[in-house]
Amino acid sequence: MKMIGNTMFITGGGSGIGRALAIAFHTMGNKVIVAGRRRGPLEEMAKAFPGIDFRIIDMRDAQNIVEVADWLVMTHPEVNVLINNAGIMAGDKTGGFMDDDLTVATIETNLLGPMRLTSALIEHLKTRPDAVLANVTSGLAFTPLAHAAVYSATKAALHSWTLSLRYRLRGTSVRVLEVAPPWVQTDLMGARDEPRAMPLQDFIDETLRSFASGSDEVLVERVKALRDNPGPNEWAFVEEFNDRLAY
Q: What are the residue numbers of the active site?
A: 151
First to last CA, the chain: 39
Q: What are all long-range contacts of 220-224, with beta carbons under 8 Å and residues at least 24 apart?
A: 220/181, 220/182, 222/182, 222/183, 222/198, 223/139, 223/180, 223/181, 223/182
Amino acid at 123: E
Q: Which residues does 48 contact at the CB level (< 8 Å), separation at least 6?
A: none
Distance from C-alpha of 202 to C-alpha of 184, rounded to nearest angstrom: 9
